[in-house]
Amino acid sequence: MVEKHKLEKPQNSLPIPAQLKPYALRTHEEVSTPLTMTRRSMLKNSAAWLTMAYGLAACDRVPPRKIVSRPNLPEYQTPGEAVYYASTWTDGNYPYPMLVKTVDGRPIKIDGNPDVAINFGKSTSSMQASTLSLYDPDRLRHPLKDGKKVSWEDADKDIIGKLKEAKSVVLVTRSNIGPSERDLVKRFQDIQPKLRHLVYEAIHDGLRQGTWEEVFEQEGESLPKFSQADIILSLESDFLGTDGIVPENVREFITKRKISDKNPTMSRLYMVESTMSVTGSNADTRFRLRSSQMLSFTKALLASLRGEGKELSEYAKKHNLSETNLSSLVSDLNSHKEKSLVVAGPHHSKAVQATVALINQELGAFGKTLAWNSKPATLSANSQEEIEQAFSEEVDVFICMGTNPVYSWAGNDFSNLLKKAKLTIAHGLYIDETMSACTYALPSHHNLESWNDAAPRDGLYTFCQPTISKLHDTRQEAESLLVWARGISKDSKGLDYRSNDTENLWYSYIRYYANKDKKERQWIKSLEKGVIGEIVTTEFPKLNADKANKLGEASVASGEYELLVTPHHSLYDGRFANNPWLQELPDPTTKLVWDNAAMLSHTTAKKLGVEMNDLIDIQAGKATIQLPVLPVKGIADNVIVATLGHGREKAGTIGSKQGHSISALKGTPDSPWHFPDVKVKKNGEKYTLVRTQKYFSMEDRPLALDTTLSKFKKDSEVFHHKQHKPSYSQLHDHYDYSINATPYKWAMAIDLNSCIGCNTCMLACQVENNISFVGKEECSNGREMHWIRIDRYEGGDEDNPTIHHQPMLCQHCDNAPCESVCPVQATAHSPDGLNEMVYNRCVGTRYCANNCPYKVRRFNYYDYRDLRDSVQELAFNPQVTVRSRGVMEKCTFCVQRINSAKFEAKNDGKEVADGAIQTACQEVCPSQAIHFGNINDPNSHVAQIAKSSRAYKVLEEINVRPSISYLGKVRNPSENV
């Protein structure tokens, strides 16, 4: 029995009384009010209650409401109708072109910009959740000096004075800044030559990109083209999860994984990793190998590819890898020259990166399965040592913009560096660790309030435009720089743009910058489209093999245990920690919410004598951190994997003190996130980890079906052997769904072969349908509210399991078991096949949830409408009811989207066209695994897909007749395995 962990009340950066906190942050004791009533007093009062109840029930006029005539209607706006703006998302590690949906002037949903050939309208979960950060009540609302409110004018005056006299200025920014901002920093340096610009990122691509730039002797980055590769080998690169431009990677990868019934072919993915990543869970063949062995593995692989000796079989024996699998990897790579690709994770040492470059040369990947982008979208980050170097002399002014080194600085001693600076200024959204450590804490605009630009790829230029005017007294970082630059310069030389508009300095600057290349005529048009130019392809540079060979000569010493630190799946490096949607988004592998953990294999756990929820001390060098243990199948033995992003001291009401920080540990410049020798011991104390799924076995039931490509080729009916189809006998008549009876019958098809289990659909659904978060304690009670979840199953080998991902949502059964048990008919069936949920009828008996075989109905145990601040209301989608306490809810197939498409079609006197309705999960799915449409139209996309020989229905044997077809997964391990 696990000791119940009492949740610590979060330390707020802005103190909030308990009754104003959202329910999700309260503990159970805080929520429940003690019952003081006795039986007698209840009877006594009941008469009065009854009278009151009758009286109130009769007087049910809606409370009088106002309706407002504004002096002028805003341009382009129809009240209640959506307007879309093209913009760019710059909060993350890469500038994703996006399309922002605004209703009545407030942004409520973000998706990728479909016109840009990078993410093609797809997005990431952190991008989806960005609207919630915009309306976050914890955002800093006015400038602070030493924690006290100060006006922008006073702050500027002081800062400009100090900057003028400064003999040394250090400006630290994040890496994802646009071309105009970079240009501005250069101009600033012309005016104040003592300014040093450094880039700090907790997680960056410096080792990989840096090494490749070194061995190719050219600036730029290599981009994997998974769509061109038949054989892919990933060395701990989680390219489907956190590494690189994920939506693009997924799309590229999945093009070769979509199979047709007639001519099934697909690519093959080999994965070598110590952790258990999203990419690893999609691998056809997966090797468990310690990170410290990655160098020896790449060297052995290179030798085998060159045909030098039989090193690989020896290697396989030594490291307990499957020899047949390993030899099939080599033969696959050898037989697919120019059609294979090897990628390595960004955390590997220079030696590994250089060797991988050599392997790719051996495979002829350059220019074929690898492309070169000579102008990376983001600045390459400086190492911690370089930043420390800048502080070796006295610093007069230190400016930190949009990055949070005090939290994530390895070794946790950035505040010591700050003491060396005379004046410290931080610019950011929250009073985070860095902002509170600096003299000036200046509030920034949110991405959705900002003007900006970006160059996501060589030749492409995208804009970022505000979709709402600023909510608080904030200012954009670039505008601050501009104000200060104008303040110090005697004349405005070097800043010769149209600057008459002092209210919108930065806007004028961006316009000027866009003009420079005679883009002025296209200004409005490109703002509308969000993008100008086309991707320029560069010839792949030549590899300097000598340099690469030389770099590859290194060795790694490893101890008994090693620690690998990876970015968090949704919080990334911790910057999104105050976003409750992202905190509650389960980790795709462990289904862990609100926390991070020391993930290790069951064997390692046994060896250490620990089990889940035990705290362990991990010591690397002099520093020690504490983490709760979470055994995960598939992780290499003696390896501990932990994610960054938790354990924030001052993230805000939501993110503070959630999970454990690991930034106390400091690696070496050549391996900042991998600690090859750590000491681990049991701490003796306990902690409570909460997961949304605790059991991963299917118990041989036919839920998520899979087969291998060779079996599927032989027998295309392979998915139907396990299925038991009942004879459909009906007790009572139901709707007639024949084409004659109804023109529409909505249905969904989910291709499990495409689904990579990335969870982005869960977040898109949450944003679209106003789904609340519930907090860690309620998650531990199994009361999370996600309408769609990804079920994860493990099969096969105990140590190295095969993973199944299965999106599970309301199946909209034709014989819905929930409908027949509802005593108030709050859940009914529509003539077009929807299982409807009527919130205003629901009385909360929860019979329906108990009778649902898929367990997809969610109940509002508390009033999650209870918001801390009215600004949060702006985040709601006005097309969907915000549910109150005591009401059941579930997936509606995005009925608001169905209705608006229907209305539009009916108004035009047409039928709803195929593809006119996209559910939120379908729209966002980077691998296009979800298809939705009218199954009564035999030519519709979904009808075609549901006809596939891979199509089956989950729990078909219980005759609920679900509307969702799943297409079985096909794996492609090598033939000789």
Partner 1 sequence: MFTKRFERRIYIAVTVALSSGLLGFSFFLYAMWPANIVTGYEPDQPINFSHKLHAGEMKISCVYCHSNVEKGAHATIPPISTCMNCHSQVHPNNRSGQPSEEINLLKKHWEEKTPIQWEKVNDVADFVYFNHSRHISSGVTCNECHGPIETMTVVRRQNSLKMGWCLDCHNTPKKQEVVTGHKSENMTSKDTEHLPKGHVATLPEGHPIVTKSTRAPINCSACHR
Stretch of 440-448, 536-544, 778-786, 890-898 lying at the interface with partner 1 (CB under 8 A)? 890-898
Considering the complex, what minimum distance in angstroms separates the CB of residue 837 from partner 1? 8
> Under the criterion CB under 8 A, does residue 64 sit at the interface with partner 1?
yes
Considering the complex, what minimum distance in angstroms separates the CB of residue 55 from partner 1? 8
Cα distance between residue 802 and residue 633, in whole Å: 10
Considering the complex, what minimum distance in angstroms separates the CB of residue 900 from partner 1? 8
**Cβ-based nearer residue to partner 1, 19 or 740:** 740
Cα distance between residue 873 and residue 539, in whole Å: 50
Q: Give the number of other CB atoms < 10 A from CB of residue 2.
A: 12
**Cβ-based nearer residue to partner 1, 38 or 72:** 72
Considering the complex, what minimum distance in angstroms separates the CB of residue 594 from partner 1? 30
**Cβ-based nearer residue to partner 1, 454 or 813:** 813
Among 1, 48, 67, 557, interactor with partner 1 by CB under 8 A: 67
Considering the complex, what minimum distance in angstroms separates the CB of residue 816 from partner 1? 13
Cα distance between residue 968 and residue 718, in whole Å: 9
Cα distance between residue 790 and residue 517, in whole Å: 47
Q: How many CA atoms lie within 13 A of 898 on its CB side?
A: 17
Query: Helices 294-305 and 323-335, interaxial angle, to 10°?
Result: 50
Q: 3-class SS at 737?
A: coil
Query: What's the Cα-to-Cα distance from 537 to each of 94, 228, 332, 371, rounded to whole Å?
Result: 19, 16, 29, 8
> Under the criterion CB under 8 A, does residue 727 sit at the interface with partner 1?
no
Nearest Cα to Cα of residue 444 among 144, 888, 850: 144
Among 66, 518, 694, 724, interactor with partner 1 by CB under 8 A: 66
Cα distance between residue 861 and residue 809, in whole Å: 20
Considering the complex, what minimum distance in angstroms separates the CB of residue 59 from partner 1? 6
**Cβ-based nearer residue to partner 1, 35 or 62:** 62
**Cβ-based nearer residue to partner 1, 10 or 933:** 933
Considering the complex, what minimum distance in angstroms separates the CB of residue 892 from partner 1? 6
Nearest Cα to Cα of residue 187 among 498, 492, 511, 510: 492
* Residue numbers 867-886 binding partner 1 by CB under 8 A: 879-881
Say if residues 342 and 235 touch (Cβ distance below 8 Å): yes
Say if residues 397 and 169 touch (Cβ distance below 8 Å): yes
**Cβ-based nearer residue to partner 1, 228 or 827:** 827
Sign of the dihedral through C-alpha 434, 435, 436, 440: positive
Phi/psi at 574 (5° precision): 105, -5
Cα distance between residue 648 and residue 646, in whole Å: 6
Among 59, 524, 557, 731, interactor with partner 1 by CB under 8 A: 59
**Cβ-based nearer residue to partner 1, 17 or 909:** 909
Stretch of 206-214, 373-381, 598-606, 838-846 lying at the interface with partner 1 (CB under 8 A)? 838-846
Cα distance between residue 950 and residue 937, in whole Å: 20
Query: Helices 545-552 and 350-363, interaxial angle, to 10°?
Result: 140
Question: Beta partners for 85?
Answer: 100
Cα distance between residue 563 and residue 548, in whole Å: 27
**Cβ-based nearer residue to partner 1, 72 or 555:** 72
**Cβ-based nearer residue to partner 1, 168 or 896:** 896
Cα distance between residue 348 and residue 236, in whole Å: 9
* Residue numbers 904-963 binding partner 1 by CB under 8 A: 906-909, 911
Spell 874-891 as b/e; 16+ CB within 10 A means b.
bbbbebbbbbbeebbbbb
Question: Beta partners for 424?
Answer: 398
Q: What beta strand segments (E) does 909-959 contain? A: 930-934, 951-952
How is residue 492 written in tokens? 């405005």
**Cβ-based nearer residue to partner 1, 109 or 208:** 109
**Cβ-based nearer residue to partner 1, 464 or 887:** 887
Q: Which helix (H) or strand (E) holds 827?
A: strand 827-829
Q: Give the number of other CB atoms < 10 A from CB of residue 330.
A: 16
**Cβ-based nearer residue to partner 1, 15 or 71:** 71
> Under the criterion CB under 8 A, does residue 892 sit at the interface with partner 1?
yes
Considering the complex, what minimum distance in angstroms separates the CB of residue 587 from partner 1? 31
How is residue 158 written in tokens? 């002081």
Considering the complex, what minimum distance in angstroms separates the CB of residue 82 from partner 1? 10
Among 265, 668, 820, 899, interactor with partner 1 by CB under 8 A: 899
Among 161, 669, 726, 743, interactor with partner 1 by CB under 8 A: 743
Considering the complex, what minimum distance in angstroms separates the CB of residue 825 from partner 1? 9
Quickly tell me which residue has 């880039």 as its tokens: 199
> Under the criterion CB under 8 A, does residue 76 sit at the interface with partner 1?
no
Cα distance between residue 22 and residue 13, in whole Å: 16
Among 362, 836, 866, 956, interactor with partner 1 by CB under 8 A: 836
**Cβ-based nearer residue to partner 1, 166 or 765:** 765
**Cβ-based nearer residue to partner 1, 722 or 841:** 841
Say if residues 474 and 444 touch (Cβ distance below 8 Å): yes
Considering the complex, what minimum distance in angstroms separates the CB of residue 789 from partner 1? 21
Q: 3-class SS at 901?
A: helix
Interaction pattern, residues 306-345, with partner 1; x per rule: CB under 8 A: ----------------------------------------
Among 53, 73, 536, 977, interactor with partner 1 by CB under 8 A: 73
Say if residues 956 and 762 touch (Cβ distance below 8 Å): no
> Under the criterion CB under 8 A, does residue 738 sit at the interface with partner 1?
no
> Under the criterion CB under 8 A, does residue 60 sit at the interface with partner 1?
yes
**Cβ-based nearer residue to partner 1, 727 or 907:** 907
> Under the criterion CB under 8 A, does residue 834 sit at the interface with partner 1?
yes
> Under the criterion CB under 8 A, does residue 736 sit at the interface with partner 1?
no
Query: What's the Cα-to-Cα distance from 243 to each of 133, 224, 234, 466, rounded to whole Å?
Result: 23, 11, 11, 28
> Under the criterion CB under 8 A, does residue 828 sit at the interface with partner 1?
yes
Count the residues of the shown chain that bind partner 1, applying the rule CB under 8 A: 46
Considering the complex, what minimum distance in angstroms separates the CB of residue 826 from partner 1? 9
Among 166, 895, 964, 967, interactor with partner 1 by CB under 8 A: 895
Considering the complex, what minimum distance in angstroms separates the CB of residue 45 from partner 1? 23
Considering the complex, what minimum distance in angstroms separates the CB of residue 898 from partner 1? 8
> Under the criterion CB under 8 A, does residue 624 sit at the interface with partner 1?
no
How is residue 745 written in tokens? 């019958």
Q: What's the first-to-final CA gap in the chain, in angstroms?
A: 42
> Under the criterion CB under 8 A, does residue 65 sit at the interface with partner 1?
yes
> Under the criterion CB under 8 A, does residue 81 sit at the interface with partner 1?
yes
Among 39, 40, 61, 148, interactor with partner 1 by CB under 8 A: 61
Indicate the DSSP class of residue 725.
P
Q: Give the number of other CB atoms < 10 A from CB of residue 503.
A: 7
Considering the complex, what minimum distance in angstroms separates the CB of residue 881 from partner 1? 5
Indicate the DSSP class of residue 78.
-
**Cβ-based nearer residue to partner 1, 179 or 844:** 844
How is residue 911 written in tokens? 């039928």
Calculate the dihedral angle through the C-alpha atoms of 703, 704, 707, 708, rounding to the nearest 10 degrees: -170
Among 729, 738, 840, 976, interactor with partner 1 by CB under 8 A: 840
**Cβ-based nearer residue to partner 1, 423 or 887:** 887
Among 744, 859, 862, 932, interactor with partner 1 by CB under 8 A: 744
Say if residues 530 and 361 touch (Cβ distance below 8 Å): no
Can you give the binding site for partner 1, defined by CB under 8 A?
Answer: 58-62, 64-73, 78-81, 742-744, 828-832, 834, 836, 838-841, 879-881, 892, 895-896, 899, 903, 906-909, 911
